[in-house]
C-alpha cells in the first residue's frame, strides 16, 4: 500500500472505484493541513477541519469529468483553496476583507536545485493525464523537492501534535521544545520545571505506553 498516492486515492474516489477510505481521509487531512497551516495560520482548529470538509464537498462537486483535464491532486488542491475562500468569507466579521491583500508579492522564482533538471520517462508518464487523443502534461504533478520537504515538515508537525495530545502536559511541552524547536534537553527540562532525569523517566513512560497502545 506504500505506493498508493493521494492522487491515486482521489481519482479512485471520483471514479467510484474501490479504495481505502481511511487512508484517503488521513492523507487528504495531512495535505490540506499543510496548506491551511501556511495560508490560514490565523484559523482556530475547528476552521482548519471545516476547510477539509468543504474541500471534499468541492472535490465531489467537480465529479469524474474534471479528471479529463486535471489530475486528482490538482483538482483537490483547487478544491482546498476554494474551501479556504468559502470558510474565510463565512467567518469574516462585517467590514473585514475575506482575504489578505498582498503587501508586495515577490516574482516567481525557480529553485536553484531545479535549474537544468530533466524529468525522466517515469515522471513524464505519471504526469500525463487526459483521454487518448487529448493527452497532456499536468505540471502540478511534477515533484518539487523543496515543496515536498516543506509539506513533509508540516505533516510531521501535525503528526507530532496529534501524538503529544496524549502526553502529560509537562512532557508534551518538553518534547515540543526538543523535537520541534531543537532546544537542548537541559533547557527544555528547566523550562517545564523538571530535572533531566525526571524528564527522561516520564518521557520513557509515555513512549512505552504509546508503543503498546499503537
Higher pLDDT, 104 or 57: 57
CA–CA gap between residue 24 and residue 141 (Å, rounded):
18
In the structure, what pLDDT confidence band is assigned to residue 127 with cuts at 50, 70 and 90?
low
pTM of the full structure: 0.47
Query: Hey, what's the cell of 116?
Result: 537544468
Q: Which of 6-10, 52-56, 146-150, 167-171 has the lowest mean pLDDT?
A: 146-150
| Strand intervals (E) in the chain | 128-129, 136-137
CA–CA gap between residue 32 and residue 154 (Å, rounded):
10
Eight-class DSSP state of 5: -
What residues contact 73, with CB distance under 8 A and at least 6 apart?
5, 6, 7, 10, 140, 141
Average pLDDT, the chain: 76
Most confidently predicted of 102-106, 107-111, 125-129 = 125-129
Residue 158 pLDDT: 61
Residue 126 pLDDT: 62
pLDDT digits (tens, 9 = 90+) for 29-82: 989 998 888 888 888 888 899 999 999 999 999 889 988 878 888 889 889 988
Residues 22-26: what's their mean pLDDT? Answer: 86
What residues contact 17, with CB distance under 8 A and at least 6 apart?
11
CA–CA gap between residue 188 and residue 77 (Å, rounded):
38
CA–CA gap between residue 190 and residue 186 (Å, rounded):
6
CA–CA gap between residue 62 and residue 14 (Å, rounded):
9
Amino acid at each position: 500500500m506504500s505506493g498508493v498516492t493521494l492522487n491515486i486515492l482521489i481519482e479512485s474516489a471520483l471514479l467510484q472505484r474501490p479504495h481505502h477510505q481511511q487512508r484517503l481521509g488521513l492523507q487528504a487531512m495531512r495535505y490540506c493541513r499543510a496548506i491551511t497551516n501556511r495560508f490560514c495560520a490565523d484559523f482556530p482548529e475547528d476552521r482548519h477541519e471545516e476547510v477539509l470538509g468543504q474541500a471534499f464537498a468541492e472535490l465531489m462537486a467537480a465529479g469524474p469529468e474534471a479528471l479529463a483535464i486535471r489530475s486528482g491532486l490538482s483538482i483537490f488542491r483547487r478544491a482546498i483553496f476554494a474551501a479556504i475562500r468559502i470558510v474565510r468569507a463565512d467567518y469574516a466579521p462585517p467590514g473585514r476583507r475575506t482575504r489578505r491583500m498582498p503587501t508586495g508579492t515577490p516574482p516567481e522564482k525557480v529553485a536553484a536545485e531545479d535549474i537544468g533538471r530533466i524529468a525522466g520517462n517515469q515522471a513524464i508518464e505519471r504526469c500525463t493525464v487526459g483521454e487518448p487523443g487529448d493527452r497532456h502534461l499536468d505540471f502540478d504533478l511534477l515533484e518539487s523537492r523543496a515543496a515536498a520537504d516543506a509539506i513533509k515538515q508540516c505533516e510531521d508537525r501535525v503528526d507530532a501534535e496529534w501524538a503529544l495530545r496524549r502526553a502529560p502536559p509537562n512532557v508534551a511541552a518538553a518534547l515540543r521544545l526538543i523535537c520541534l524547536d531543537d532546544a537542548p534537553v537541559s533547557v527544555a527540562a528547566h523550562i517545564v520545571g523538571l530535572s533531566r532525569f525526571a524528564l527522561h523517566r516520564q518521557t520513557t513512560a509515555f513512549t512505552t505506553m504509546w508503543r503498546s497502545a499503537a
